[in-house]
C-alpha cells in the first residue's frame, strides 16, 4: 500500500510546474536537485539568469528552466508564476545594497508573490522566512521578515511558512566563512555566547518537497533547527578544528563590540553590519512548542557529519593533511 501511495504521489508531482524564486542560490540549488528527482518541471526565477545556469544540469534535459524575475517588478513576477501549480519564495538578503532593501524584498516582494499566487489560483505556496522573524525585532532584518510573514498569510492563508535557523552545507556562507577566518592567527569573536541551531540544507530542501505534496502542511509554520545547539564561538571553534587550524579566539568585550562592528560595516563586502549585530543579541533556536523536522519524521542531520566533506579544503594540505 505504501508503495502504491508513493507512486501515486510521484505521478501527481510529475505533472506539476514549480516556480522557485531565488532558485539559483545556496538553498535553491539543493532544492532544485531534490525536486528534479520527483519529476516535476522546474522554473527557476532569478534577477540575473546567467548566474543560475548551473541548476539546469541538475534535472533531465528541458526539466529545469531559468527565467528572469525581480520581486520589485510585478510584471516579471506574474510572468514567472504563469502556469505554475506551486510557487516557492526563497528570496532574501542579509544586508541591504542598492535597491535590495529589506522591506522591498522581505515584505513588499513577498506580498507581491503571495497576492499573485492567490490571483492566479496557484495550488500551494511555500515562503522561506527565518527564525527571529518578528515585527518587534530589534533588527530591521527581523522586522521585515515578520511583516513579510503577515503579508503572505493575509494574501494566501494556506501558505506554508518555514523559519530555519542558520543553514549549513557545501556552499554556505557560515562555516565556510568561519574556516577562512581560522586561517588568521588571531580571530576576534563578537557575541560568542549567542546560540544557534544550524540546520542542514538537505533537510530544509526535503521539508519544502514535502510541503508541496502534503496538504496538512498548508497554512502551517515550521521552525527548522538542526540536531544540536551551539554557541557562535563553538561553531567557529568547530570549523577551525575540522579545518585543522589553530587560531587564538579572543572574545570582544560587549562595550567595545558595537564600535568595532561599526568600522567593520564600512568595509567593502562587510563581514558584519550593525543590523546583524542586533540580531546576534538574541538566540537563534527553535521554540519548544513549534512544529519542526521531528513532526515531519525527518531526523536532523548533525553538522559534524557533513562539515568534514567540504571544510577539508581549508586544511593546510587539503585532503592530504594527516588526521592526527
Percentages (nearest 5) of helix, strand, coil residues in the chain: 45, 15, 40
Strands 41-46 vs 124-128: parallel, antiparallel or unpaired: unpaired
Whether 90 and 28 have beta carbons less than 8 Å apart is answered as: yes
What residues have CB less than 8 Å from 21, skipping those under 6 apart?
45, 46, 69, 71, 77, 80, 87, 88, 89, 90, 91, 113
For residues 168 and 174, what is the distance between their CA atoms, to the nearest angstrom? Answer: 7
For residues 165 and 232, what is the distance between their CA atoms, to the nearest angstrom? Answer: 13
Which CA distances in Å does 218 have to 132, 145, 231, 299? 21, 19, 33, 21
Whether 118 and 261 have beta carbons less than 8 Å apart is answered as: no
What is this structure's pTM? 0.92
Q: What is the largest CA-CA distance in the chain?
A: 62
Say how many CA atoms lie within 13 Å of 288 toward its Cβ: 0
Q: What is the pLDDT along the chain (324 residues), one digit of tens a residue?
A: 555 544 544 554 556 999 999 999 999 999 999 999 999 999 999 999 999 999 999 999 999 999 999 999 999 999 999 999 999 999 999 888 888 899 999 999 999 999 999 999 999 999 999 999 999 999 999 999 999 999 999 999 999 999 999 999 999 999 999 999 999 999 999 999 999 999 999 999 999 999 999 999 999 999 999 999 999 999 999 999 999 999 999 999 988 888 888 878 877 777 888 999 899 999 999 999 999 999 999 999 999 999 999 999 999 877 767 776
Amino acid at each position: 500500500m505504501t508503495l502504491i501511495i508513493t507512486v501515486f504521489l510521484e505521478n501527481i508531482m510529475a505533472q506539476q510546474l514549480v516556480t522557485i524564486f531565488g532558485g539559483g542560490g545556496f538553498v535553491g540549488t539543493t532544492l532544485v536537485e531534490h525536486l528534479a528527482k520527483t519529476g516535476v518541471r522546474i522554473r527557476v526565477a532569478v534577477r540575473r539568469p546567467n548566474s543560475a545556469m548551473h541548476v539546469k544540469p541538475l534535472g533531465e534535459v528541458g526539466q529545469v528552466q531559468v527565467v528572469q524575475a525581480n520581486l520589485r517588478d510585478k510584471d516579471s513576477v506574474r510572468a514567472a508564476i504563469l502556469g505554475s501549480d506551486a510557487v516557492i519564495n526563497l528570496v532574501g538578503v542579509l544586508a541591504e545594497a542598492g535597491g535590495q532593501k529589506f522591506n522591498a524584498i522581505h515584505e513588499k516582494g513577498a506580498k507581491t508573490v503571495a497576492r499573485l499566487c492567490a490571483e492566479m489560483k496557484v495550488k500551494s505556496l511555500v515562503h522561506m522566512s527565518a527564525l527571529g522573524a518578528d515585527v518587534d525585532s530589534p533588527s530591521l532584518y527581523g522586522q521585515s521578515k515578520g511583516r513579510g510573514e503577515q503579508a503572505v498569510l493575509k494574501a494566501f492563508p494556506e501558505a506554508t511558512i518555514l523559519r530555519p535557523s542558520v543553514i549549513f552545507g557545501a556552499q554556505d556562507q557560515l562555516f565556510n566563512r568561519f574556516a577562512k577566518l581560522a586561517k588568521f592567527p588571531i580571530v576576534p569573536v563578537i557575541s560568542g555566547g549567542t546560540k544557534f541551531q544550524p540546520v542542514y540544507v538537505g533537510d530544509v530542501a526535503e521539508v519544502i518537497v514535502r510541503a508541496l505534496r502534503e496538504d496538512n502542511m498548508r497554512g502551517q509554520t515550521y521552525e527548522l533547527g538542526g540536531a544540536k545547539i551551539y554557541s557562535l564561538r563553538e561553531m567557529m571553534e568547530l570549523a577551525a578544528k575540522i579545518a585543522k587550524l589553530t587560531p587564538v579566539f579572543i572574545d570582544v568585550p560587549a562595550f567595545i563590540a558595537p564600535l568595532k562592528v561599526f568600522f567593520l560595516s564600512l568595509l567593502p563586502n562587510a563581514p558584519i553590519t550593525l543590523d546583524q549585530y542586533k540580531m546576534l543579541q538574541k538566540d537563534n533556536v527553535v521554540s519548544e512548542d513549534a512544529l519542526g523536522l521531528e513532526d515531519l519524521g525527518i531526523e536532523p542531520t548533525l553538522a559534524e557529519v557533513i562539515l568534514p566533506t567540504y571544510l577539508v579544503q581549508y586544511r593546510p594540505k587539503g585532503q592530504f593533511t594527516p588526521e592526527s
